[in-house]
Amino acid sequence: MAAEPVNLNEFQELARLALPKMYYDFYAGGAEDEHTLKENVEAFHRITFRSRILVDVSRIDLSTTILDYKISAPIIIAPTALHKLANPEGEVATARAAASCNTIMVLSFTSSSSIEEVAASSNAVRFYQLYVFKKRDITATLVQRAERNGFKALVLTADTPRLGRREADIKNKMITPPLKNLEGLLSTKVSSDTGSNFEADANETMDASLSWKDLEWLRSITNLPILIKGILTREDGKIKAPSDDMTIKAVEVGVAGIIVSNHGARQLDYSPATISALEEVVHAVKGRVPILMDGGVRRGTDVFKALALGAQAVLIGRPVVYGLAAKGEYGVRRVIEMLKDEFELTMALTGCPSVKHITRKHVRTEQERIH
Ligand code: FNR
């Protein structure tokens, strides 16, 4: 393979060569049979284009606006854990790459660089991803730190009452370093005799009782907009709680956006590919709040397909970590730039001079081909 990768998939191979097996497996792996892991990518392959011809595409505008922040393309960095396992500069390098590509970085709750280090490292627009711990005051402290350090929104990951069963980590007895942001706040004990300490720690600390009503609690401790990550059904897209009144209430308590996600296929295997679940949620939400999606985005054509099916932007997880592992900050920048270049070409070849021109009619799903 050429030393300089020409697409995102080639970065994965470089990352595999650069990383100890335990860490590569941690990044690359999914839950159980990894059925959803494969589907996240393959479901994109089953969608084809309906291109228009003879449209003036001599100038293409990829830019878009997410929660009032103008970014260079609808491609955002997803929250992924522990970037220092990929590169000693960790999330600081990722944030710098986000800034130079003029996009948003969502910093993971389980980051290896601190909130303060990441904030000081660049002027990237940053969102902060949250897990809610049994000890609520720990989550509240981190929310306040994110707010104080200029993070612009919270992303509540709602698909992780317990950690999914990642068998590679169990086999490798994956040991994770202590989390920088939790220093002095939490002492987790390593119990890796039977599996990964990541799983054991997460299951011990995560609040599995978290429910819709807790959004009000979250809203009460912050002024930041809150996005919910991990929605896969129309029922949850409607933010449906026990009654219809609650539906409106949930929006009122601060949901600023939805991220259709199956956690990169790391939680429940045999969840649908996110690109297959996207439209169901889009129809239910009816434009009340912006919808983003992640899972399996590896090509500019994938970005286009997600937008055509109703997403305002996509997030990318693994490719960012692979870029970081292979070539540090430069690698992350290249991953985003390559995806942007491919997306721009897709727009040109489908006849879409700006993201507003991308419509449902520019793609054909598998069901539409059969009928
Ligand atoms: C994740 N993801 C994740 N999500 C989250 O909300 N908090 C987290 O700390 C993490 N950590 C994490 C670590 C690793 C190694 C991976 C691969 C993923 C899920 C992530 O935000 C996103 O949903 C997926 O990564 C998107 O799928 P792709 O782009 O990796 O296919």
Interface predicted TM-score (ipTM): 0.99
Which residues partner with 283 through β-bridges?
none
What's the gap in Å between 292 CA and the centre of ligand 1? 14
pLDDT given for residue 251 in this prediction = 54
Nearest to 251 by CA among 288, 209, 281: 288
pLDDT string in tens for the chain (371-residue length): 447 999 999 999 999 999 999 999 999 999 999 999 999 999 999 999 999 999 999 999 999 999 999 999 999 999 999 999 999 999 999 999 999 999 999 999 999 999 999 999 999 999 999 999 889 999 999 999 999 999 999 999 999 999 999 999 999 999 888 888 988 887 655 455 556 777 777 777 889 999 888 898 999 999 999 999 999 998 888 765 555 555 554 455 568 999 999 999 999 999 999 999 999 999 988 898 999 999 999 999 999 999 999 999 999 999 999 999 999 999 999 999 999 999 999 999 999 999 999 999 999 998 887 65
Contact indicator for 256, 227 with CB cutoff of 8 Å = yes
- Predicted pLDDT of residue 227: 96
Q: How far is the CA of 269 from the centre of ligand 1 (A)?
A: 14
157 lines ligand 1 (CB under 6 A): yes
- H-helix or E-strand spanning residue 169: helix 167-172
**Given 83, 263, 283, 357, the catalytic residue:** 263
- Ligand 1 contact, 160 CB (< 6 A): no
User: Which among 92, 97, 126 has a CA at the least distance from the CA of 111?
Assistant: 92
CB atoms within 10 A of CB 371: 4
Residue 371 alpha carbon to ligand 1 centre in Å: 35
* Coil vs helix vs strand at 1: coil
> pLDDT at position 366, please?
87
pLDDT at residue 250, as a whole number: 47
- This model's pTM is above 0.90: yes
User: Whole-angstrom Cα distance, residue 73 to residue 188?
Assistant: 39
Instruction: Report CA(227)–ligand 1 centroid distance (Å).
Output: 15
Buried b or exposed e, range 151-171, using 16+ CB within 10 angstroms: bbbbbbbbbbeebbbbbbbbe
CA of 345 to the centre of ligand 1 (A): 27
- Pocket of ligand 1 contains residue 296 by CB under 6 Å: yes
Q: What is residue 254's predicted lDDT score, i.e. its pLDDT?
A: 64
CB atoms within 10 A of CB 292: 25
What is the rounded distance in angstroms from the CA atom of residue 132 to the CA atom of residue 143? 10
Closest-CA residue, ligand 1 atom 18, reads 80
The answer to whether the CB of 91 is under 6 A from ligand 1 is no
Instruction: Verify whether ligand 1 is closer than 6 Å to residue 274 (CB atom).
Output: no
d(CA 176, CA 83): 11
Distance 129 CA to ligand 1 centre (A): 11
Closest ligand 1 atom, CA of 29? Answer: 17
Determine the Cα–Cα distance for residues 74 and 352; give it in Å rounded to an integer. 14
| Whether residue 263 lies in the annotated active site | yes
How many Å apart are CA 273 and CA 38, to the nearest integer? 9
What's the confidence (pLDDT) of residue 1? 46
What per-residue confidence (pLDDT) applies to 244? 58
pLDDT value of residue 245: 58
Decide: 299 in ligand 1 pocket, CB within 6 A.
no
**Does 230 sit in the ligand 1 pocket, CB within 6 Å?**
no
CB neighbours (10 Å) of residue 246? 16
Index of the ligand 1 atom closest to the CA of residue 41 = 31
CB 146 within 8 A of CB 115: yes
Quote the Cα angle for 201-207-210, to 5°: 155
User: What residue's CA is closest to ligand 1, atom 15?
Assistant: 27
Of ligand 1's listed atoms, the one at least distance from the Cα of 157 is 6
